[in-house]
Amino acid sequence: MSIDYEKLKDEPRLLMEAKLKPLQGERFQPTGFADLGPARYTLPDGTEMLLVESAQSVANRVELACWDESNDDLIPEFKGLPYILVKNEKGENLTNSILEAHRINSPYILEGKDKTVFDYLKKDAAGMEIGPIKLNDLAKLVFKYDANAVLHGVFLAKSELAGGRLRMARALSGFIEALNVRAADSGGVKNDRVDPSGDTKQGFGNVPFHRTEFTAQDITAYFNLDLALLRGYGLGGDATRLLIALALFKIRRFLSTGLRLRTACDLQVIGDVNVTRPNDFAVPDEQSLLQECQSLIGKCKDQFAGITAVKWQPSKKKGAKAKKEDEENNEGAGA
């Protein structure tokens, strides 16, 4: 089944959801926050809710859908998509803009001694320093170096790049929440078979611990693709269709292979992806989307920069004392 782009041409959003359940048993472990713990909240009617996976976490997980960890490269069908590759001083692959949390704005790309990418971006962003940012120009720049970043958003915060104002919102977002939840409290103990009464502050001894998991009436994954935003970038028909196909593939791949969110949170899909807007649109299967992406990558190749490599070497910033010594030495040399 192919993508029916005609049904999406006048829609501002493509809204999808999928029902989930634990792969085994009924309990699951939600995402947690250091200063909050599990994100629980109550609806006006008293229904107890729980955030199972945050928007920022789902974004990170769907980004990985096109990456082959075992080969440290794009999956074969996605060869040709542009991205920025960071190598270490030995020439070995270190990281890249697809895997980095801040994508093109990663410090490993922009903060090292090698200014290759920084200079490319500064050149392409020339003219954006003053006045309103033209999002279509920014989108073309980002699409050129990493098409995935157009979907997932980017903020080029460096002041040298158009005053640090280059920002693109996330076009593809998602989250997972659970309905009518109940806490499932349990616990355990870390046993020290050598010295059970040892100093627990140093990691010795028997250490009991508390554990809270949850059960739920329903668990649902929600996805939102901002079609109006993608069309507004003015990247052209093939590029816009590629971004739509890429987004749908990422959702499919995440639901088929990426739902082991934590050791105690391994989920599975019940049924299929349900489109709630527009309700007459159907998401093609994963293999069809893969073929569509592969075809559109070829059609968009003239808009891509390919794989842009940069070497990571930390910039050594001197302290005030070292700078003063340099200044004194320079004065002496010129006397």
> For residue 85, what pLDDT is reported?
96
In a domain, 328, yes or no: no
Region 311-327 average pLDDT: 61
Q: What SS3 string covers the chain?
A: CCCCHHHHCCCCEEEEEEEEEECCCCCECCCEECCCEEEEEECCCCCEEEEEECHHHHHHHHHHHHEECCCCEECHHHECECEEEEECCCCCEEEECCCCCCHHHCHHHHCECCCHHHHHHHHHCCCCCCCCCCHHHHHHHHHHHCHHHHHHCEEECCCCCHHHCEEECCCEEEEEEEEEEEEEEEEEEECCCCCCCCCHHHCCCCEEEEEEEEEEEEEEEEEEEEHHHHHHCCCCHHHHHHHHHHHHHHHHHHHHHCCEEECCEEEEEEEEEEEEECCCCCCCCHHHHHHHHHHHHHHCHHHCCCEEEEECCECCCCCHHHHHHHHHHHHHHHC
- In a domain, residue 184? The reply is yes
Residue 300: inside a domain: yes
Would the pLDDT of 319 be above 60? no
Predicted model pTM: 0.86
pLDDT of the residue at 199:
85
Residue 329 located in a structural domain:
no
Could you tell me if residue 203 is inside a domain? yes
The per-residue pLDDT for 125 is 79
Q: In this predicted structure, what is the pLDDT of residue 207?
A: 83
pLDDT tens digits along 67-89: 999 999 999 999 999 999 999 99
Number of domains in the chain: 1
Domain that holds residue 307: 5-320
331: in domain: no
Residue 326 within any structural domain of the chain: no
pLDDT digits over 95-131, tens only?
999 999 888 889 999 998 999 888 888 887 777 777 7
Q: Residues 266-293: what's their mean pLDDT? A: 96
pLDDT digits (tens, 9 = 90+) for 23-34: 999 999 999 888
Q: What is the mean pLDDT of residues 142-150?
A: 94
At residue 333, the pLDDT reads: 42
Mean pLDDT of 319-332: 48
For residue 76, is it within any domain? yes
